[in-house]
Each structure stands twice: as structure tokens, then as C-alpha cells.
Amino acid sequence: MKILFIVVMAVLAVAAQGQPPAANHSKDLATGDKFWGKWLNDLHEMGVETRNDSLIIHREVMKLFADTAYRKDVYPAQYNWPQAVELLRTLELKKAFWHMLNLYETDADNRSYVLGTFVAYDSLMKMDKILLSTFYTYAFADPRVSRVKNNKPDIFRPDILERKLASLKEIITQIWYYRDQKTGKK
């Protein structure tokens, strides 16, 4: 019931304030096309990836390790629904999905809400790919997992990283199941 209240309040907040802030970028067609193209590419870009024999670390991950204020903003001491809903409202979907992945792990009573949200978004976009992108952007810089030591990232809790990856696999398996149910595949 608490989550339903939060979701209803988020919808009412958007209705009361008009469009989310990101909508300001779509006033004219050229500006909107450029903004939304970059926004969509960001959803699919993995923060850490390998190409051929190289490890590529993208700007967002570098910022997470370099900017302590930004890192504290992205990784709160405790993940909560109002913050996740606010990120959804402002269309910061990748951060919102990261919060929800953590809520899935820490808030067992509300796992169905997280999963339901991901399944709903899957009808609009490929959530399995976006959740992988989210994980590979935010997981390695999580202060519960790594720290900067001698100006280099140091993963000191690989067990937490593996647990988060296991939760992600569980969620993606459920998304595939619901996707197959929707298309009639068994």
C-alpha cells in the first residue's frame, strides 16, 4: 500500500508541475532529437566494457570515482522508494533503475513492485539490455564494493558485486518470462 501511495503521489506531482524537466529539451525538433538520441544512447551504454583486448571505462564511471559529492548522490546510505520515484519522474532512468535494483535486493517485501516496474518498462524498451547497462555503469563504483586507493579503483567486496549480479540475473530471467508470456511463447 505504501508503494502504491508513492507511485500515485509521483504521478500527481508530475501532473501538478507539468512535464518533467527533461521535456524542456524537446521544444524544437532538432534540439529534441539530439537530446533524446543522447538520452537513449546513455541508457544502453555500459559504463565498463571490453572491446577486443581493451577495457573501456566511460565518463560516468570516471565521474563516480573522481567526484565524491556525485558519488554520494548516486549511492545513498539507504535506498528508498521516494528517491527512486523522483528519479523516474525526472527521467533519470538509469539511476532510477540502479536504485530499484538495490531496492529489489534490500526490500524483499516490495520486490514485486520493482519487478512490475521493470516488466512495464520492458513493453517500451529492452529492459534486459538496459539493466545490464545500468549494472555495468554503477556496480563497480559502488562504495559498498570499491574505493579509490592510490588513485586507482580497488574492489574490496567482490562478494557484494556477485550478489548484485545474481539479483540482476534473477530479474532478467523474470523479464524474459513475462516477455515470453506476452508474446505467447512458452
pLDDT bin (cut points 50, 70, 90) of residue 12 is: very low
Instruction: Quote the Cα angle for 56-57-59, to 5°.
Output: 130
Tell me the C-alpha distance between 74 and 77, whole Å.
10
Chain segment 45-71, per-residue pLDDT in tens: 999 988 898 888 899 999 999 999 999
Per-residue pLDDT at 69: 94
The reported pLDDT for the residue numbered 38 is 81
Is residue 120 in a domain? Answer: yes
User: For 71-75, what is the mean pLDDT?
Assistant: 94
Count how many domains the chain has.
1
At 108, is the pLDDT very low, low, confident or very high (cuts 50, 70, 90)? confident
176, part of any domain: yes
User: Are 25 and 32 in contact, with CB atoms under 8 Å apart?
Assistant: yes
Interstrand relation of 152-155 and 146-149 (parallel, antiparallel or unpaired): antiparallel
Q: How confident is the model at residue 185 (pLDDT cuts 50, 70, 90)?
A: confident
pLDDT band, very low/low/confident/very high, at 85 (cuts 50, 70, 90): very high
pLDDT cut 70: percent of the chain above it: 84
Is 79 or 110 the better-scoring residue by pLDDT?
79
Measured distance CA(88)–CA(20) in Å, rounded: 9
Q: Is the pLDDT of residue 4 over 50?
A: no
DSSP string for residues in the chain: -HHHHHHHHHHHHHHHH-S-GGGGGGSSHHHHHHHHHHHHHHHH--SEEEETTEEEE-HHHHHHHH-HHHHHHHS-SS--HHHHHHHHHTT-HHHHHHHHHHHHHH-GGGHHHHHHHHHHHHTTS-HHHHHHHHHHHHSTT-TTTEEEETTEEEE--HHHHHHHHHHHHHHHHHHHHHHHHHHT--
What confidence category does residue 40 fall into, taking pLDDT thresholds of 50, 70 and 90? confident
> What are the φ/ψ torsions at residue 51 (nearest 5 degrees)?
-130, 125
Lowest-confidence segment of 52-56, 97-101, 137-141, 172-176 by average pLDDT: 52-56
* pLDDT digit string, tens, across residues 27-37: 677 777 787 78
Task: Quote the crossing angle between the two packed helices 111-122 and 158-183, to the nearest 10°.
Answer: 50
Full residue range of the structural domain in which residue 129 is found = 28-183
